[in-house]
């Protein structure tokens, strides 16, 4: 959710969050918070690419490392996985930078895309986490007890300083955030960017808020996040939640006895489900509710319009993963000739049409025949 | 059950003036100029606070002369503040003023979620007590380390070296910088500096953005806005050279 202060200033949301399945029995929660300030002007892109890099890296690891090898996963969370994520992210941001008009005049710096990253892995028997920066993780037990189990602790931090994905020298710091523990006592996990905790009067209120989030979903959660940022820190606020489902009923367990323990284990394993609303619908809703933001948001994506105009095949990648870049997915879905255009408000429709027309006009000179 | 059903809170931004009220401030209208500058800056400060509702701007002031005492002890929302004039008389217990501020920058009473405070030290002379001890006590507080610390030198008798020590490491390179003592030679320039500190700086401190934990020592905590161009060369700026 974009922060109230960012909305007022016409800045983009610099947070990204994601929940996904990366293997038959492995799920992933991700949050990333792009740094603010003019030094980090592409951090909204950085945070989205960070989530994508993390998903790809964990998926690649899951293909080679058994979920039963908890020691192996713990080692990976501390060292190899952070390195893999950071390298993927650096490649992705360099690729993005090369498509920027400013790259001709300005030197590349990974700080431009600087962001934090927190990830939680969920398997049938254990959950684990790692990451960098000022995200928070709350664990909730069946008795309702909520505890802050992971947070950034910098000894010499000044003000809003945090460690970042763009700092290769900070790779060692990931190991201080590594946890891997049995899934059993945990009923739910709430992973947040720092804007949530900073919006609460005290840590006690923050823990209570996390407990309340388990009872809320869809539109109510979205509106609640809006209120949190508006009345609190004004910062972007993002959450990724995992919650254990109810155990199988006794009758069914009796019937499935032949499959026995395996079935029960599988049923017990599939206890996580994402709590994020449809990202594309959410993006449309936010823009249509705040039409004053539409022009600025689309203007920043001018290069994306041009890229999609010249290479329509790129649209599918955006549409397949709307959670990574909801605005990009919206732009892709609105392209002339798109199979199914989403329902949007007139202001947004008009603004998108104007951008597509501008993109066509920009491309026209290149199609002009050469003079003899 | 309504959601969210917890206490949400914007973040307090403590703005503290440390004002020299020594006898020399009575000369050449300096005390009146300071009172006037602070009073005139309040509407602008209140407007910045309105524009940044995520921050709750709370003002206090310390006066120091023979000793140091709170002139405005209670953190007061800027919108409610009515400035009571300071009066000059005595010597310059600057060190004691820093100790007084150190006391309120401990946790508690500083809130967990507070924004980095803004401290503005204003003086026309040299400390007459143990400045080093006071500064040392202040800088032992993490909140003082996080604070934006500015200093305004009124006239050319102010001790720029101690004011620089209060601000922090001197920035590299020459020229005017908000991280060096701001030298006000007349009432107009003083008023402009106070206005800048109470609006532009408060605005910047109200919306701190997360940043890398690798900022150089002399860069400070909050990226400070540039000084307005008219303040770059105050000696030959508007208004007569007075102090």
Write out pLDDT tens, residues A287-343: 887 787 788 778 768 878 888 888 888 888 888 877 667 788 899 999 887 776 778
Query: CA torsion angle for B79, B85, B90, B93 (degrees, to 10)?
Result: 0
Whole-number average pLDDT of chain A: 81
| Three-state DSSP class for residue A351 | helix
pLDDT of residue B43: 94
Residue A158: is its pLDDT beyond 60? no
Using only C-alpha atoms, chain B has a radius of gyration, in whole angstroms, of 17
3-state secondary structure B81-142: CCCCCCCCCCCCCHHHHHHHHHHHCCCCCCCCCCCCCEEEEEECCCCCCCHHHHHHHHHCCH
Mutate to test the interface with B, among A158, A159, A162 (most CBs of B within 10 A): A159
Q: Are A137 and A191 in contact (CB under 8 A)?
A: yes
* Closest residue of chain A to B147, computed from CA coordinates: A159
Domains and CATH numbers, chain B: 20-207+225-236 (3.40.50.410)
Backbone φ, ψ for residue B236 (5° rounding): -110, 35
**Whether A199 contacts chain B with CB within 8 A:** yes
Check residues B2 and A204 and name the one with the higher pLDDT: A204
Among B residues 94-133, those touching chain A with beta carbons less than 8 Å apart? 112-113, 116
Interchain pair A200, B8: CB under 8 A: yes
Residue A268 pLDDT > 80, yes or no?
no
Confidence of residue A160 (pLDDT cuts 50, 70, 90): low
Sheet strand arrangement including A186-192: A146-150, A136-141, A186-192, A239-243
Model pLDDT, residue B120? 97
**More reliable by pLDDT, A19 or B164:** B164
> Does the beta-carbon distance from A162 to B211 stay under 8 Å?
yes
- Residue A153, judged by CB atoms within 10 A of its CB (0-12, 13-18, 19+), counts as exposed
Residues B5-23: tens digit of each pLDDT: 888 888 899 999 999 999 9
| Contact yes or no for A162 and B4 at CB 8 A | no
Q: Is B74 helix (H, G, I), strand (E, B) or coil?
A: strand
Rounded mean pLDDT, A40-49: 91
Q: How confident is the model at residue A148 (pLDDT cuts 50, 70, 90)?
A: very high
Give the gyration radius of chain A's Cα atoms.
Answer: 22
Q: Which of A288, A194, A283 is nearest to A232 (CA)?
A: A194
The pLDDT value given to residue A259: 24
Q: How far is CA A121 from CA A30, A54, A176, A200, A210, in A?
A: 9, 11, 16, 26, 19
How far apart CA A138 and CA A151 sit, in angstroms, is 9
Q: Is the CB of residue B11 less than 8 Å away from at least one CB of chain A? A: yes
What B232-240 contacts at long range (C-beta under 8 Å, 24+ apart), as own/partner pairs, is: B232/B175, B232/B176, B233/B176, B234/B183, B234/B184, B234/B185, B234/B186, B234/B189, B235/B183, B235/B185, B237/B188, B237/B189, B238/B188, B238/B189, B239/B186, B239/B187, B239/B188, B239/B189, B240/B186
- Average pLDDT of the segment spanning A348-371: 73
**Residue A110: closest CA among chain B residues belongs to which residue?**
B212
State whether B213 and A164 contact (CB < 8 Å): yes
CA pair distance B212, B194, nearest whole angstrom? 30
Is the peptide bond preceding residue B79 cis, with omega within 30 degrees of 0?
no
> Least CA distance to A202: which residue of chain B?
B112
Q: Kind and range of the H or E element at A53?
A: helix A43-62
Q: What percent of chain A has pLDDT over 90?
A: 37
Q: Is the pLDDT of residue A61 over 60?
A: yes
Q: How confident is the model at residue A60 (pLDDT cuts 50, 70, 90)?
A: very high
ipTM comes to 0.72
> Could you read off the pLDDT of B199-238 as tens digits, one per residue?
988 888 887 566 666 555 445 557 778 776 555 554 544 5
pTM check: above 0.95? no
pLDDT at position A340 is 66
CB contact under 8 A, B4 and A227: yes
pLDDT digits (tens, 9 = 90+) for B30-75: 999 999 999 999 999 999 998 888 889 999 999 999 999 999 999 9
CA distances for A257 relative to A189, A249, A251, B174, angstroms = 30, 12, 10, 81
CA distance A213 to chain B (A): 8
A162 and B210 within 8 Å at the Cβ level: the answer is yes
Question: Predicted confidence band at A366 (pLDDT cuts at 50, 70, 90)?
Answer: very low
CA distance A341 to A261: 47
Residue B123 Cα to chain centre, angstroms: 11
User: B93 pLDDT exceeds 90?
Assistant: yes
- CA pair distance A54, A89, nearest whole angstrom: 8
What is the pLDDT confidence band of residue A113, given thresholds at 50, 70 and 90?
very high
B80 in contact with A, Cβ within 8 Å:
no
Q: What is the pLDDT of residue A371?
A: 39
Sign of CA dihedral B173, B176, B180, B185: positive
What's the rounded mean pLDDT across residues A112-138? 94
pLDDT band at A147; cut points 50, 70, 90: very high
Give the pLDDT of residue B240.
Answer: 59
pLDDT of A283 strictly over 90: no
The pLDDT tens digits of the residues spanning A6-42 come to 777 777 778 888 888 888 889 999 999 998 777 788 9
User: Does the pLDDT value for residue A199 go beyond 60?
Assistant: yes
Q: What is the mean pLDDT of residues A201-219?
A: 88
Neighbour count for residue B93 (Cβ, 10 Å): 26
Domains along chain A with CATH numbers: 4-241 (3.60.40.10), 281-364 (no CATH)
CB of A114 within 8 Å of a chain B CB? The answer is yes
Residue whose tokens read 């990830």? A119
pLDDT digits (tens, 9 = 90+) for B120-154: 999 999 999 999 999 999 999 999 998 999 999 99
A232 contacts B213? CB cut-off 8 A: no
- Closest CB from B10, B145, B209 relative to A160: B209
Selected residue with higher pLDDT from A20 and B76: B76
Residue A358: pLDDT over 70: yes
- Phi then psi for residue A31, to 5 deg, are -135, 145
Does A224 score more than 70 pLDDT? yes
């Amino acid at each position: 959710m974009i922060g109230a202060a960012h909305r007022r200033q016409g800045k983009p949301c610099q947070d990204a969050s994601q929940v996904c399945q990366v293997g038959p029995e492995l799920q992933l929660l991700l949050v990333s918070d792009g740094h603010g300030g003019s030094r980090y002007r592409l951090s909204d892109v950085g945070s989205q690419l960070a989530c994508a890099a993390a998903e790809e890296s964990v998926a690649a690891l899951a293909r080679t490392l058994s979920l039963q090898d908890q020691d192996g996963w713990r080692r990976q969370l501390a060292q190899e996985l952070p390195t893999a994520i950071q390298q993927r992210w650096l490649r992705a941001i360099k690729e993005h930078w090369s498509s920027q008009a400013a790259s001709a005049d300005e030197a590349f710096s990974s700080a431009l895309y600087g962001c934090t990253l927190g990830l939680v892995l969920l398997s049938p028997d254990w959950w684990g986490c790692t990451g960098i920066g000022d995200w928070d993780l709350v664990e909730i037990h069946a008795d309702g007890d909520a505890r802050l189990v992971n947070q950034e602790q910098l000894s010499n931090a000044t003000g809003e300083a945090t460690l970042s994905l763009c700092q290769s020298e900070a790779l060692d710091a990931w190991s201080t955030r590594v946890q891997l523990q049995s899934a059993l006592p945990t009923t739910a996990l709430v992973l947040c960017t720092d804007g949530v905790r900073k919006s609460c009067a005290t840590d006690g209120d923050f823990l209570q808020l996390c407990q309340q989030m388990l009872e809320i979903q869809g539109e109510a959660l979205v509106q609640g996040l809006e209120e949190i940022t508006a009345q609190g820190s004004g910062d972007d606020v993002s959450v990724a939640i995992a919650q254990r489902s109810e155990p199988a009923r006794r009758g069914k367990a009796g019937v499935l006895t032949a499959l026995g323990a395996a079935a029960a284990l599988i049923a017990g394993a599939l206890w996580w489900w994402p709590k994020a609303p449809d990202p594309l619908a959410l993006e449309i809703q936010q823009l249509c509710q705040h039409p004053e933001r539409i022009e600025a948001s689309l203007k920043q994506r001018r290069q994306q319009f041009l890229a999609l105009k010249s290479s329509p095949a790129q649209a599918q990648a955006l549409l397949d993963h709307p959670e990574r870049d909801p605005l990009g997915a919206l732009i892709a879905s609105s392209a002339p000739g798109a199979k199914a255009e989403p329902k949007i408000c007139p202001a947004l429709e008009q603004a998108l049409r104007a951008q597509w027309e501008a993109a066509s006009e920009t491309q026209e000179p290149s199609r002009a025949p050469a003079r003899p | 059950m309504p959601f969210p059903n917890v206490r949400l809170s914007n973040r307090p931004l403590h703005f503290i003036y440390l004002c020299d009220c020594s006898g020399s401030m009575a000369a050449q209208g300096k005390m009146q100029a300071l009172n006037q500058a602070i009073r005139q800056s309040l509407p602008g400060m209140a407007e910045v606070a309105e524009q940044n509702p995520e921050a709750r701007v709370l003002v206090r002031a310390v006066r120091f002369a023979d000793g140091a005492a709170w002139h405005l002890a209670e953190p007061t929302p800027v919108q409610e503040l009515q400035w009571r004039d300071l009066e000059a008389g005595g010597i310059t217990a600057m060190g004691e003023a820093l100790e007084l501020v150190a006391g309120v920058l401990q946790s508690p009473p500083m809130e967990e979620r507070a924004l980095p405070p803004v401290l503005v030290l204003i003086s026309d002379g040299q400390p007459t007590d143990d400045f080093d001890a006071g500064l040392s006590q202040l800088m032992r507080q993490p909140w003082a380390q996080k604070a934006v610390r500015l200093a305004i030198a009124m006239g050319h008798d102010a001790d720029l070296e101690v004011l620089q020590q209060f601000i922090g490491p001197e920035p590299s390179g020459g020229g005017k910088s908000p991280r060096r003592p701001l030298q006000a030679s007349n009432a107009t320039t003083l008023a402009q500096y106070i206005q800048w500190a109470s609006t532009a700086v408060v605005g910047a401190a109200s919306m701190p953005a997360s940043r890398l934990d690798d900022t150089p020592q002399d860069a400070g905590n909050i990226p400070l806005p540039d000084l307005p161009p008219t303040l770059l060369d105050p000696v030959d700026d508007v208004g007569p050279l007075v102090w």
